[in-house]
Amino acid sequence: MNDHEVLDTVLLPHEAAELLQMPEAELLDAASRRAIPGICLGGTWRFSRRRLLTSQVVKAA
């Protein structure tokens, strides 16, 4: 896997919360308010590692 593929990884909520070092419940609340980039598919949230790392959420932390 190259660097580009690693950055484009799709994360589950617990993985995204770990990446952002925040509680999963807080992550899901922020995602539902569109404060964190993510998509809810079939009732389950998914997050782009690349979008999380380049979003204002990470820059503000």
List alpha helices for 1-61, DSSP H. Answer: 3-7, 13-20, 24-32, 49-54, 56-60
Q: Could you tell me which of 10, 9, 51, 12 has the C-alpha nearest to residue 34? A: 51
Instruction: Give the tens place of pLDDT for each residue, 37-55.
Output: 999 999 999 999 999 998 8
Domains in the chain with CATH codes: 3-60 (1.10.1660)
Residue 27 pLDDT: 97
Backbone angles phi, psi at 36, to 5 degrees: -125, 135
pLDDT the model gives residue 2: 59
Q: Counting every residue, how long is the chain?
A: 61
